[in-house]
Amino acid sequence: MKAVYLKGIKRLVSEEIPIPEPGDNEVLIQVKCVGVCGSDIHYWEHGRIGNFVVNSPLILGHEVAGKIVSMGNQVKITSLKPGDRVIIEPGVPCGHCNHCLKGRYNLCQSIQFFATPPVDGAFREYVSINCSKVFKIADDLPMEVATLAEPLAVAIHAIKRSHIELGERVVIFGAGVVGLSVMLALQEAGLKKITVIDPKKERLSLSQKFGAQLVATSLDFVSNDSLYDIAFECSGSPSALISASKLVTPGGQIVQLGLSGNSTQEVPIVQLITKEINVISVFRYAHVFPTALEILTGRKEQFKEMITHKYSLEDIEDGFRMAKMSPDAIKVVIDVN
Ligand SMILES: [Zn+2]
Ligand SMILES: [Zn+2]
């Protein structure tokens, strides 16, 4: 089968490797579509994200939809069978450490997470993964849209970790897939007073179309007397936390999802303390894929609009460049099979 390896800065190389044998509890999946994530772009451009460093060739990609080919002989999940259209949750935790036992398996230090060195990801024709991480999708959910369950899972986990209440005023930094997913998931929960800020004007049209009350390219366009109860920082821009601390009301909260890729960044500590703002950090997700699939299926037309570009596995490098460069690129999906 074909697999695309990151072999150096901005160097993706296609290689022929054997199709994996599924383990006893694993499912072998023919990969159909894989979304290009901000983290994939970051590894491609810099070879690292904070302490995660690519030291040897690595297959990127963790937003996966495909079809079951075969299953290991210990797979007991009767709802899965060969031919099923599925998505995967791309991380397998150890299952017995303290974090796993507390249900916070996203914090498991032994988790095998796709496309995080040294664990290979999914820009390849077949993957195998533990059957507990495989979720069947509706027949009418397009494969490329199904890949968005993964970034939506991040958004849902963020909302669950916040202490948001109905009627609160929300500001979202970053109008990419995660920011838009936060907005749609909040709407699903009945929250309507949402402002979206993104310096790239082209990307804001979708936020507007999806019902944002206000969209803005910078803080200057947001009136200072309309402070927000909660900010979701989805941009990863180092300055966004500072902006968020200005826009959030005393006693409010900032939910930090964006990762700039730097190990450290400036923190507006005086604003945070004197306003008693709670900063809530969010890393990946735990136990949210079924909810993500439900919201995704119900709003598939909206999520479909986030997919702005599609490339074949052969043209993956063009896809990465597009995702990096184009101001209107929201989600680039690689069509693998
Ligand atoms: Zn992702
Ligand atoms: Zn664990």
- pLDDT tens digits along 7-33: 999 999 999 999 999 999 999 999 999
Q: What is the pLDDT of residues 111-166, one digit of tens each?
A: 999 999 999 999 999 999 999 999 999 999 999 999 999 999 999 999 999 999 99
Q: What is the pLDDT of residue 287?
A: 97
pLDDT at 50 over 90: no
Q: In the predicted model, what is the mean pLDDT of the chain?
A: 95
Mean pLDDT across 317-331: 94
Which ligand is the nearest neighbour of the Cα of 283? 1
Which ligand is the nearest neighbour of the Cα of 285? 1
Of 77, 69, 78, 93, the closest CA to residue 21 belongs to 69
Which ligand is the nearest neighbour of the Cα of 323? 1
Q: What is the pLDDT of residues 92-115, one digit of tens each?
A: 999 999 999 999 999 999 999 999
Categorize the per-residue pLDDT at 259 as very low, low, confident or very high, splitting at 50, 70 and 90. confident
- Residue 119 CA to ligand 1 center (angstroms) comes to 15
Categorize the per-residue pLDDT at 304 as very low, low, confident or very high, splitting at 50, 70 and 90. very high
Q: What percent of the chain has pLDDT over 70?
A: 99
User: Which amino acid, one-letter code, is at 30?
Assistant: Q
CATH topology classification for 155-281: Rossmann fold (3.40.50)
With beta carbons less than 8 A apart as the criterion, state whether 192 and 165 touch: no
**Beta strand segments in 178-330, E:** 194-197, 214-216, 228-233, 248-256, 278-281, 307-312
* Tokens 């507007």 belong to residue: 208
- Residue 88 CA to ligand 1 center (angstroms) comes to 12
Burial 18-28 (b: 16+ CB within 10 A, else e): eebebbebbbb
- Residue 31 CA to ligand 1 center (angstroms) comes to 16
Q: What is the pLDDT of residue 62?
A: 98
- Residue 230 CA to ligand 1 center (angstroms) comes to 23
**Beta strand segments in 82-158, E:** 85-88, 91-92, 112-113, 126-130, 134-136
Mean pLDDT across 24-48: 96
* Residues linked to residue 131 through DSSP beta bridges, in sequence order: none
Q: What percent of the chain has pLDDT over 90?
A: 90
d(CA 335, CA 337): 6
Which ligand is the nearest neighbour of the Cα of 37? 1
- Residue 129 CA to ligand 1 center (angstroms) comes to 17
Categorize the per-residue pLDDT at 261 as very low, low, confident or very high, splitting at 50, 70 and 90. confident
| Sequence ranges of the domains in the chain | 2-136+299-335, 155-281
- Residue 7 CA to ligand 2 center (angstroms) comes to 30
The torsion angles phi and psi of 187, rounded to 5 degrees, stand at: -60, -40
Q: What is the pLDDT of residue 78?
A: 84
CATH no. of 2-136+299-335: 3.90.180.10
Which ligand is the nearest neighbour of the Cα of 332? 1
Of 240, 229, 295, the closest CA to residue 268 belongs to 240
- Residue 250 CA to ligand 1 center (angstroms) comes to 32
Which ligand is the nearest neighbour of the Cα of 150? 1
Which helix (H) or strand (E) segment holds residue 117: the answer is: none
The Cβ of residue 208 has, within 10 Å, a number of other Cβ atoms equal to 13
- Residue 249 CA to ligand 1 center (angstroms) comes to 30
Q: What is the pLDDT of residue 202?
A: 86
- Residue 111 CA to ligand 2 center (angstroms) comes to 6
Burial class (CB in 10 A: 0-12, 13-18, 19+), 293: buried
pLDDT at 260 over 90: no
- Residue 38 CA to ligand 1 center (angstroms) comes to 7
Q: What is the pLDDT of residues 187-242, one digit of tens each?
A: 999 999 999 999 999 889 999 999 999 999 988 777 766 799 999 999 999 899 99
- Residue 278 CA to ligand 2 center (angstroms) comes to 27
Q: What is the pLDDT of residue 187?
A: 98
Which ligand is the nearest neighbour of the Cα of 181? 1
- Residue 153 CA to ligand 1 center (angstroms) comes to 9
Q: What is the pLDDT of residue 76?
A: 87
- Residue 133 CA to ligand 2 center (angstroms) comes to 15
- Residue 40 CA to ligand 2 center (angstroms) comes to 24
